[in-house]
């Protein structure tokens, strides 16, 4: 028991805002080992790649959401942004544009939606929940109005290959996910952007008094979130082979679950991208493993909810103990 306590309180998990939840890491290890015994199909290279492919879409969108939540904000419009970005790119390809132009336009659309969120929240001081909820409805509604609910089947092979192709046995979409995480993991600790996200999320007033332009940085954070959501939308369309105005409905909840599970605080100022990545792995490993174990889908939801609650509860108790101590 003492060994476990020492392990849990070890310095390797970091300190303060960027600390990882050792309970989460332990949960990943325990679930991984348990599923390896429960299902003979779980611990195979193909299946582990299946887990990776399944988490790519939520994973990319979760990068931006993590930054927003650490900065004390919230973005409920990412599902709509994903759908709109996929629809725009598909529509442009159908209209004769090239893949590069279509993708750039889609990412640009995501950044514009993020910028609108950022302006509403930073400059008009609208509550992030309300502002992004409104954007969720507006963007989704416009996607339906323009397309009249119809989907676009993607025929462009370059785009489809992103969803089905592999490099040295690893799916392209998994490589893209890894690149996105590596880029942000390397950028954040070394940049003003990374430091200010924590400063704004911990105490926006103090950050402002320290000379940080919180409005401009918040705007940039939401723009980043819009861009990653758009990229996730493009990957979703690549994986399913179609773009739909109703795509990614409810994805917000999966994304936010992964971010919170990863240790980010809804109060802001705390969380890590690495934590989000581990949260994602736990969530999707459970999805995959419970299905392989033939657990009925309703029970899967119960189990997932229970694990989320247990992980967050453990983290709160542990931090409370640390804070009290």
Partner 1 sequence: MLSLTSTIRLMTKVFLGATVLVPTAFAQDFEARPKGGIPGALLPEERSLWVYDTGSRKFEPTEGDASAAYEASPRALPDGTKVGFAEGWAAIPFSYAINQRLYELAGELGFEVVYCDNAFKADQAVTCAELLVQQGADVVIESNWQSGAAAAVMNIFNEAGIPVMSVDVVHPNAIFLGADNYASGLIGGQAAAEHAKALGRCDDVTVLVGINPGEGEAANERLSGFVDGVQTVCGALPADRIDDELIDAGTTDQALTVVTDWLTAHPGAGFVLATAIDDPRGFGMSNAIAQAGREGVAVGIGCDEVGVAATRVPVKDNHFLGCVAYFPEKYPDYAVSIAADILEGKAVPQEVHLDHVFLTEESINDAYPAE
Binding site for partner 1 (CB under 8 A): 41, 44, 46-47, 50, 53-54, 57, 144-153, 163-164, 236, 239-244, 246-247, 249, 288, 291-292, 294, 296-298
Q: Nearer Cβ to partner 1, position 119 or 292? A: 292
User: CB-hemisphere CA count at 13 Å for 211?
Assistant: 1
Q: Which helix (H) or strand (E) holds 212?
A: none
- Closest contact distance (angstroms) between CB of 161 and partner 1 is 11
Nearer to partner 1 by C-beta: 42 or 198?
Answer: 42
Residue 117: CB atoms within 10 Å:
32
Q: What are φ and ψ of residue 178, in 5° steps?
A: -65, -40
In the complex with partner 1, which residue's Cβ is closer, 108 or 241?
241
Nearest approach, Cβ of residue 77 and partner 1 (Å): 18
272 contacts 188 by C-beta, under 8 angstroms? no
Q: Shortest Cβ distance from residue 240 to partner 1 (Å)? A: 4
Which residues, 6+ apart, have CB-to-CB distance to 161 below 8 Å?
172, 238
If the CB atoms of residues 14 and 241 are measured against partner 1, the closer one turns out to be: 241
Burial 217-249 (b: 16+ CB within 10 A, else e): bbbbbbbbbbbbbbbbbbbbbbbbeebbbebbe
Strand spans (E) along 74-206: 152-153, 166-167, 170-171
Of 159 and 198, the one with the shorter C-beta distance to partner 1 is 159
- Give min distance, CB of 79 to partner 1, in A: 12
In contact, 276 and 28? CB cutoff 8 Å: no
Give the nearest distance from C-beta 60 to partner 1 in angstroms. 13
Q: How far is the CB of 169 from partner 1 (least distance, A)?
A: 14
Choose between 48 and 312: whose C-beta lies nearer to partner 1.
Answer: 48
Cβ burial of 5 (10 Å; 0-12, 13-18, 19+) is: exposed
């Amino acid at each position: 028991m003492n060994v476990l306590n020492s392990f849990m309180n070890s310095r390797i998990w970091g300190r303060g805002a960027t600390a990882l939840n050792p309970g989460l890491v332990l949960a990943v290890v325990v679930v991984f080992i348990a599923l390896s015994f429960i299902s003979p199909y779980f611990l195979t290279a193909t299946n582990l790649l299946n887990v990776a492919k399944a988490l790519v879409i939520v994973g990319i969108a979760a990068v931006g959401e993590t930054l927003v939540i650490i900065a004390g904000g919230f973005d409920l419009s990412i599902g709509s942004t994903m759908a709109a970005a996929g629809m725009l790119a598909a529509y442009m390809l159908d209209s004769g544009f090239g893949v590069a132009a279509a993708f750039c336009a889609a990412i640009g659309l995501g950044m514009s939606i993020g910028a609108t969120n950022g302006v509403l929240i930073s400059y008009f001081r609208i509550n992030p929940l309300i502002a992004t909820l409104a954007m969720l409805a507006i963007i989704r509604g416009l996607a339906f109005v323009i397309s009249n609910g119809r989907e676009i089947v993607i025929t462009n092979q370059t785009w489809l290959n992103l969803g089905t192709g592999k490099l040295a046995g690893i799916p392209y979409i998994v490589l893209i996910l890894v690149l996105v995480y590596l880029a942000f993991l390397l950028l954040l600790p070394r940049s003003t952007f990374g430091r200010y996200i924590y400063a704004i999320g911990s105490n926006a007033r103090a950050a402002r008094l320290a000379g940080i332009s919180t409005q401009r940085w918040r705007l940039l954070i939401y723009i980043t979130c819009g861009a990653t959501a758009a990229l996730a939308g493009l990957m979703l369309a690549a994986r399913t082979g179609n773009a739909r105005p109703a795509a990614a409905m409810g994805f917000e909840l999966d994304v936010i679950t992964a971010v919170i599970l990863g240790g980010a605080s809804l109060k802001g100022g705390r969380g890590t991208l690495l934590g989000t990545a581990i949260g994602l792995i736990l969530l999707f490993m459970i999805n995959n493993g419970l299905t392989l174990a033939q657990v009925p889908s309703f029970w899967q939801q119960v189990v997932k909810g229970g694990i989320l609650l247990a992980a967050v509860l453990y983290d709160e108790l542990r931090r409370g103990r640390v804070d009290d101590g």
